Amino acid sequence: MRKIIGIMLSVWLCAPANAQLAFGGPGNPFGWQSAEKEGIGTAYQNPREKVRSRVWFTLARGIITEVYYPRVDVAQVRDSQFLVTDGKSFLHEEQFDMESSVRRLPGAPAFQVIHRDKHGRYELEKIIWADPDTDTLLQQVRFTANADGLELYYLHKPAAANSIFGDSAESEPELIAGEQNGVFSGWQVVRASTGWKKKSVGYVGKSDGFTDLKADFKMDFEFSEAPVGNVALMGQIDIPQKKGSYRFSVSVAFAEQKDKAFVAEVPIGMDASLEKYTSHWKAYLKSLDRLTDARSPKRRQQLEETSILVLKTSEDKTYPGAGVASLSHPWGDTQIENQNVNPYGNSGYHVVWPRDLYHVGNAFLAVGDTRLSLF
């Protein structure tokens, strides 16, 4: 605790005169997300080409949960979700307060998530994937407001370098968070194509955006810095508060150096990125010796395709062939972490176990992917 206070004091002394420091650090203890994943994904890596995308994402309860970078065993995000409020009577989280459905797109680990208000006031649709050419997680979003006065926010909780505590966050010039603890280094910038109407950073349970909105359904805080703790970033999507359908995108760009995170962008555009992502995975599936064919029951064909995609997505790209047991923390949403964390972080099940790797290798031998199984 003395070390954390000392670091926070030194950061405060070096802060710009106009910086608005969040209160309540280091924030409340918190756990990871549910291990009951509804989807996992990453860009397909051709073994003959240079690695360009080192981001893995997971879904649970209809939201983005743990995101990994630059290896499949290094979590950088706890969760990332939208919030909806009318500014006076309710605050809805995607993961708890909406009716949701999750569908994998054909032939690829990309996902369509649809959330609906139980009273019909709004609908939120997302397509989620990882850009194949950069270290960026992407979402195409359509928000349909069936009532006036609705406000849409984006809440992002980092967990840089496998640690929920020890992160620092800033809102200027952009929403950014990261950690450099001597073992791992990772930075992430959250952007909305609409820009942010308001934005803030804070400590979870004390001064973060969700705690702010929950108090009176209004965003009162606009803090610019939250150093060293369990932090969260939040921005208000800049769309009209009127009935209508609004399309935009949200991205989370990752980099090992802070300055590179600021300049990261998708060079080919959102539609082209999604097309490239799905076409690479479809080409990979087509290259395999499938155990099912057109005469097999459709459900069995879908099960085989999903199984292959899950196993392939779980493979690392820095160390090809290193497939982790699971992109999750078992019982992560019921176990609380505090600031006394191991600098190597809590690895959960995203580690390579020989027992599991043996079965994965046999599975890929069965479908003709000998590169992975004979590493």
Over residues 55-85, the pLDDT tens digits come to: 999 999 999 999 999 999 999 999 999 999 9
Is the Cα torsion angle 13, 19, 24, 30 positive or negative in sign? Answer: negative
Q: Show the low-confidence residues of the chain (pLDDT under 50).
A: 1-17, 339-345, 375
- On whether the CB atoms of residues 64 and 335 are closer than 8 A, the answer is no
Instruction: List the domain range (segments joined by +) for residue 258.
Output: 19-373
CATH code: domain of residue 110: 2.70.98.10
Residue 6 is predicted with a pLDDT of: 35
Is position 3 within any domain? no
Is position 142 within any domain? yes
Is position 133 within any domain? yes
Is position 12 within any domain? no
42: which strand partners?
Answer: 56
Residue 340 is predicted with a pLDDT of: 45
Query: Comparing C-alpha atoms, which of 190, 180, 135 is closest to residue 157?
Result: 190
Is position 369 within any domain? yes
Residue 371 is predicted with a pLDDT of: 75
Residue 17 is predicted with a pLDDT of: 44
**pLDDT digits 0-9 by tens, 230-245:** 999 999 999 999 999 9
Give the number of domains in the chain.
1
CA 110 to chain centre: 13
Cβ-Cβ contacts under 8 Å for 133 (sequence gap 6 or more): 52, 53, 266, 267, 268, 273, 276
Query: Comparing C-alpha atoms, which of 128, 125, 158, 124 is closest to residue 33?
Result: 158
Place of tokens 């969260």: 232
Phi and psi torsions of 189, nearest 5°: -115, 130
Residue 329 is predicted with a pLDDT of: 76
Measured CA to CA, the distance from residue 123 to residue 114 in angstroms comes to 7
Is position 7 within any domain? no
Is the Cα torsion angle 209, 12, 227, 249 positive or negative in sign? Answer: positive
Is position 13 within any domain? no
Measured CA to CA, the distance from residue 24 to residue 225 in angstroms comes to 12
Is position 332 within any domain? yes
For the whole model, what pTM was predicted?
Answer: 0.90
